[in-house]
Structure 1
Amino acid sequence: MSKVGYARVSSKSQNLARQIEKLKDYGADYIYTEKESGAEIDNRPKLQEMLDFIRVDDVVVISELDRLSRKADDITKIIDIIRQKGATLEVLSLPSTQGIENKNLKNLINSLILEIFKYQAEAERQVVKERQMQGIKAAQERGVYTGRKKMYRKDNPQLLHAFSLIDQGESIRQASKKTGINHETLRRYNKNRKNQA
């Protein structure tokens, strides 16, 4: 049995140290870390590595539930994968089931706790989005909102090179690594390009 930690922050400027310290204090044998948005679980290579790595009776440890995702459906998918592997999930910010020996009872209690908290995480995400939209609307009404400044012009050589790689069959992630453009940014620009085509 291994204790497998997973830590995530959304941007390169954020720090993983606090999460890593908590995972080490718990006694994690392995820790997977990444600086990626929690919006899309398919775009998180370290999460995928961790899910591929875990085995029967392993314990996946995270500091808070939203480190997996802020979307309830994605949290459910990840938890299902962990369970299918025969592993369990320990969320350090939630009530612990560590002292419970009966595996079925432990899973039942974990399920109930996680259902409550994953929907709380989703609700918090919705509140943040609503406040954001209200702020944008208020700024538009005052005539001070111009939208986010575009990072790349349409004729930017770096962006054109990335598009060329994608057109040649490379994935957005591969093109991102080769050109140095953030993969989420490149995904957005590529989507806009297709919409305008």
Structure 2
Amino acid sequence: MAVYGYARVSTSQQDLTIQQEALACAGCEIIRSEKVSGSKLANRHELETLMQFLRQDDVLVVTRIDRLARSIRDLQNIVHDLNAKGVKLRATEQPIDTSTAAGKAFLDFLGVFAEFETNLRRERQAEGIAKAKKNGVYKGRKPSIDRDQVLEMNNAGMGPTAIANELGIGRASVYRILSSNK
């Protein structure tokens, strides 16, 4: 039986130290960490590696369930995969015991709240962007392609492929500019 830890933060600016220390204190022999959003399972390479490594009677430890998943569906899929392998799941800050009905229900409640938190954050962000746009503050990213330069090059007889190569952009971008100018 081995005890593995998994630590995750959402952005590269955040620090993993507190989670890593808590996992080490919980007896984790190996701790895998990553700085990536928990709202999706995609691109979570360290978690994927752990899931491949885990064997029957191993224990996966996280500090909180929202470090493992921010979506109830992803959480349930992870827990299902762990159960199928005979792996136990523990959280240092939450009383998780997936071997009892109450423990399973509590785990699901935590997953629901993590997803709820994520959805609230998205709504607030969308409201903030809408307000900023209304006030003329938020205008999006500045264009990275000089539209006039593309049109000038085309008028000078250059084809879309040559323009794309010259400017270091994709041909689709050149075609999009040329078609919107007609």
Pair in the same fold by TM > 0.5: yes
SS in 2 for 1:37: coil
Tell me how far apart the structure 2 counterparts of residues 153 and 40 of structure 1 sit (CA, whole Å): 31
Q: Which residue of 2 aligns with 1:118?
A: 111
Q: How big is the shift at 1:96?
A: 4.7
CA displacement, residues 137-180 of structure 1 (integer Å, 9 cap, x when unaligned): 11111111112457x659799x86xx8xxxxxxxxxxxxxxxxx
Tell me how far apart the structure 1 counterparts of residues 42 and 80 of structure 2 sit (CA, whole Å): 15
Structure 2, unpaired ranges of 5+:
147-163, 177-182
Return closer, same or farther for 1:144/1:117 CA change in 2, 3 Å cut-off.
Answer: same
2:99 to 101, 106, 126: 106
CA RMSD of aligned residues (A): 2.7
CA displacement, residues 41-100 of structure 1 (integer Å, 9 cap, x when unaligned): 131111111001111111110011111121111111111111111011112221254xxx
Structure 1 residue runs of 4+, over 6 Å off?
A: 154-157
Tell me how far apart the structure 2 counterparts of residues 62 and 5 of structure 1 sit (CA, whole Å): 6
Q: How many residues align?
A: 155
SS in 2 for 1:38: coil
Structure 1, unpaired ranges of 5+:
98-104, 164-191
Q: Normalised by the size of structure 2, how large is the TM-score?
A: 0.75
Check if 1:139 corresponds to 2:123.
no
Structure possessing the higher radius of gyration over alpha carbons:
2
Return closer, same or farther for 1:46/1:146 CA change in 2, 3 Å cut-off.
Answer: same
SS in 1 for 2:93: coil
Between the two proteins, what is the percent identity of the paired residues?
35
